[in-house]
Homo-oligomer: A and B are copies of this chain.
Amino acid sequence: MAANKKARTDPPYELLYWPGIPGRGEFIRLAFEAAGVSYKDTANESEDGVKAVISLIDSSSTGTDGNPPPFAPPALRIPGEGPDGKPLLIYQTPSILSYLGPKLGLAGTNEAEQQWILSHTLTALDLSNEAHETHHPIAVAKTYEEQKEESLKKATDVREARIPKFLGFFERVLKGNEEKGKGKYLVGDKLSYADTTLWHVLSGLLFAFPKEIEARKGGFELLFGTFYESVKEASGVKEYLASGRRKPFSMGMFRYYPELDRQ
């Protein structure tokens, strides 16, 4: 009991990511939530927690505690696991997930499954990057309004060519694994971080392009009929969604601009 209490109040994992939005941090949060493992979400847990995120990407830093500087959030800090017993700091969503996966029991049951899970996760993240580019096709540092004309073109291509290609691919992955996964899991017969990652991307697409996805989802029965609903009900994920702790989509990677959706 004491150990449990300590695990909850003094979690070993610290997520460093921007507050207030799901963003790329959400892929990490979902892994922790699905595994039922506590974590500190620094920037969301205190007023000045965001300072830790900002200092992380100080453009003059050559790293801290023997760790290299991270390029961008999210980063994960793990006390005691770094050089000379200092904290370990790693960054890049797929790298963090590949580190956590085996530790959280979300990386399959053998080396082959572990690699497929990473491969599918990278593919789902590529899709989320393309969704981001629909409102920022020219310059990340400029506003949507400054690149609206190009956004309309980019969004058309992403909706008409890219989204169907990705969705069709994941439908085939589910189909190929149907005997083991029953349409609920991309790889093997249990939940992995590829499932939680793809699920979040699908939920982002439903937010950003509701008309487009509504028109297309019938063509992807396993994906929207079985998989999407099943991950929502998975142990840990269900409790998280009910908790109100999940931040709503707003002005992050996935944004709702009606003019970028199907007309």
A116 CB, min distance to chain B CBs, angstroms: 6
Most chain B CB neighbours (cut-off 10 Å) among A138, A141, A175: A138
Q: Which of B83, B122, B168 contacts A59 (CB 8 A)?
A: B168
Q: Which of B69, B173, B186 contacts A176 (CB 8 A)?
A: B69
- Kindly specify which of A85-93, A238-246, A255-263 makes contact with the partner chain: A85-93
The copy count of this chain in the complex is 2
- Measured as residues with beta carbon below 8 angstroms from the partner, the interface class of chain A is 35 or more
User: In the complex, are the beta carbons of B137 and A154 less than 8 A apart?
Assistant: yes
- Interface positions, chain A 51-87, Cβ under 8 Å from B, are 59-63, 67-71, 81-83
Chain A positions 79 through 111: 1 when the CB is less than 8 Å from some CB of chain B, otherwise 0: 001110000101110110011000000000001
- Asked if A211 CB lies within 8 Å of chain B CBs, one says no
Kindly list chain B residues whose C-beta atoms are within 8 Å of the C-beta of A95: 115, 118-119, 122
Kindly list chain B residues whose C-beta atoms are within 8 Å of the C-beta of A60: 172
Q: Which of B68, B83, B169, B172 contacts A120 (CB 8 A)?
A: B68
- Interface positions, chain A 119-157, Cβ under 8 Å from B, are 119-120, 122-123, 126, 129, 133, 137-142, 150, 153-154, 157
Given the known A-B contacts A118-B95, A119-B90, A119-B95, are A161 and B139 also in contact in the complex, defined by CB atoms under 8 Å?
yes
User: In the complex, are the beta carbons of B141 and A161 less than 8 A apart?
Assistant: yes
- Asked if A112 CB lies within 8 Å of chain B CBs, one says yes
- Interface positions, chain A 161-179, Cβ under 8 Å from B, are 161-162, 166, 168-169, 172-173, 175-177
- Asked if A187 CB lies within 8 Å of chain B CBs, one says yes
Kindly list chain B residues whose C-beta atoms are within 8 Å of the C-beta of A166: 71
Kindly list chain B residues whose C-beta atoms are within 8 Å of the C-beta of A92: 118-119, 122-123
Kindly list chain B residues whose C-beta atoms are within 8 Å of the C-beta of A186: 68
Kindly list chain B residues whose C-beta atoms are within 8 Å of the C-beta of A118: 92, 94-95, 98
Q: Which of B88, B99, B116 contacts A90 (CB 8 A)?
A: B116
Q: A68-B177, A69-B176 are in contact. List 7 more A-B contacts (CB 8 A).
A: A88-B115, A94-B94, A95-B119, A99-B115, A137-B138, A138-B153, A139-B161
What are some 15 contacts across the A-B interface (CB < 8 A)?
A67-B112, A68-B187, A69-B172, A69-B173, A71-B123, A71-B126, A83-B112, A88-B115, A137-B150, A138-B150, A138-B153, A138-B157, A140-B157, A141-B157, A141-B161
